[in-house]
Chains A and B, each alone.
Chain A
Amino acid sequence: MITVGLDLGSVTTKAVLVEGSSWTSLIRPTGYSPRQAGKQAFEELLGNAGLKRGDIGFIVGTGYGRISVPFIDKAVTEITCHAKGAHFLVKEVDMVIDIGGQDSKVIAIDRFGNVTDFAMNDRCAAGTGKFLEVIAAALGLDVSELAMLSKDADPVQTSNMCTVFVESEVISLLAEGVKRERIIAGIHQSVAARVAAMAERLGKGAHIVFTGGVAKNEGVREFLCKELGRDLHVVPESQIAGALGAALLAREEVRLKSL
């Protein structure tokens, strides 16, 4: 039985195809149309595997664009999907921290990979990938360069949480001659502190898996460990955890139906 999970995020679209115990994946930019991006990613995924639509048993869509893709069989929230995916990747996981482009989430999980509770940031972008992107742009950098630069720097605190205000605060810090490494470290620390506060509210996880695009940022990762006072499981598949979870849920759906 072959199933597919599609995670239509605000920045990237992730697709995972699961067959038995093996799986393949791809990541593409979402662009302006999640519907188009979803369709293309799906077709490419099938093409790579030499499969046709008819070969796929079930498709679960997740991510903010899940509602706009007509060809999926079922839509499931990214919260449930990330939990499933993380549980598959790290068996003992009991908490997922997922920082994506638009939002950050903390998800508490039972030992079967089911969600027991979750917390999510409010409307504002503080503590999300978008926040980091805006800051990077203000510093004339690409967001992927942030982590490297902040290494070992002594963080300078910013007082604002609002993305727009932090941006101007960063600019005035630069004008004062503060080194940008320290500014970036400070920003990383503030993202980490915010997410850690959410995590503490849900109770302490012993095995925390860090997923989502920002999990690739070593700077945030380090500060998050510090704030939480424990290590994080970082998996190479962090970015596709949601899509993987979706594909696994699709597999459960097929199994349930064949009972």
Chain B
Amino acid sequence: MKIFESFRDLSIMNLENAKKNKIKIVGLYCAFAPQELVLAAGAIPVSLCGTKNEPIAEAEKVLPRNLCPLIKSSFGFAITDTCPFFRMSDYVIAETTCDGKKKMFEFLRRYRPMHVMQLPQNSEGTRAFDWWLAELQVLRNELEKNLAVEISEDSLRQAIKLANRERRTMKRLHEMNKIDPAPLSGLDLMTALWVKDFNADKEDGIELVNGLIEEVAEIAGSGTSPFPRGTPRILLTGCPVGLGSEKVVMLIEKCGGSVVCLENCGGIKTLEYLVEENDQKDPLEALAERYLSIPCSCMSPNSGRFELLDRLITEYRIDGVVDLTWQACHTYNIEAEMIRDFVKKDFDLPFLHLETDYSSSDLQQLQTRISAFIEVAGRKKQQ
């Protein structure tokens, strides 16, 4: 695992080298940004989604305090020029997901050349699909113009294959945790999956993760796990988490649970859905289909999330579900009540909804809730 922690520094070096060789870097904020188009343009996609608390104070000088910490963190990084990935980005792709983000981007575009994709409000039906397909076409043109390249059909097909291969590998790693007790802690799993968002060379990343999978398989084969047998198996769903905003993952494991499944954007939500690799099919259409199927709460309705959870709870033999909402994220916050109903009625599992931000001011409170939740899940598991 050590290598993954130093991976960030390594990626920064690799990206700097790439820049020297005139390779463009494109920053992405959300899972809806089609990285294949960036790859096909011969550029490197990196994630800019803010997961750290540090730059929030600066962001609050411009943005309202009562806003999702992810948005404030993303913005804060940009205006303080403290995120190397933002600094290196030649171009930025944003999208109109939630209200907070889309309005924040209106400020952010002062700092970098940017294209904002207009997302449909739901993912069902032909009208949404046609709209999104047209949006991909606009993005394609914008990338071609701004990066001074041509995105060929062929390069697009190749990019699709590469990104799929990466998804399959990451998913394989994630699925190691179907073993009981889990061979990977939730924190390690999250750290390892994170690789794909900062990687200068996807092939390197895939290889790295393949190595890890072998290592983990060996550990699991010998019957060792960071958790004792009988540890409640927890699924985490809700808003995105990353390094810096892992406090809930950390607390769950500190309080005696094991986060075996990450349903959020850094986890399975973005690994499950592959782009169709059919040579008869228009690659842009294939991309539009795949990206529109991401079950994010900013879509209304968002039935895909329930289908996904249904499958994951069964496959990973889950003992309890934690739904994390970042403060002021209305869509996830409201959807939480539906998720509660679903988890309780369909699975009769303990469910905990948490609303918090990136600060450490409520660790004590969170710990009480999470401990009590683990006590309940542990007792049910024993029965």
Contact = CB atoms under 8 A, between A and B. Distances in A.
Interface string A116-133: 111010110000000000
B307 interface: no
A79 B372 CA distance: 6
Q: Is the interface of A mostly helix, strand, loop or mixed?
A: mixed
A103 B376 contact: no
B369 to A, nearest CB: 6
Interface in B334-362: 344, 350-351, 355, 361-362
A77 interface: yes
A80 interface: yes
Contacts of B110: none
Given A120-B365, A122-B355, A123-B361, A77 B379 contact: no
A78 interface: yes
A77 B375 contact: yes
B343 to A, nearest CB: 11
A103 B364 CA distance: 12
B372 A114 contact: no
Given A64-B364, A77-B368, A78-B368, A116 B376 contact: yes
Contact of A123 (B344, B362, B372): B362
B14 interface: no
B228 to A, nearest CB: 16
Given A115-B375, A116-B376, A79 B350 contact: no
Contacts of B122: none
A115 B368 CA distance: 14
B364 A77 contact: no
Contact of A79 (B351, B364, B368): B368
B103 to A, nearest CB: 25
A123 B365 contact: yes
A131 to B, nearest CB: 16
A114 B379 contact: yes
A63 to B, nearest CB: 9
A120 B369 contact: yes
B96 interface: no
B143 to A, nearest CB: 43
Nearest to A103: B365
B97 interface: no
Nearest to A116: B376
Interface in A91-116: 103, 114-116
Contacts of A46: none
Contacts of B344: 117
B371 interface: yes
Contacts of A77: 368, 371-372, 375
Contacts of A76: 375
A117 B375 CA distance: 11
Nearest to A115: B376
A80 B379 CA distance: 11
Given A64-B364, A122-B355, A123-B362, A117 B372 contact: no
Interface of A: 64, 76-80, 103, 114-118, 120, 122-123
Interface of B: 344, 350-351, 355, 361-362, 364-365, 368-369, 371-372, 375-376, 379
Given A77-B371, A118-B369, 11 more contacts: A64-B368, A76-B375, A78-B368, A79-B375, A103-B365, A114-B379, A115-B372, A117-B350, A120-B368, A120-B369, A123-B365
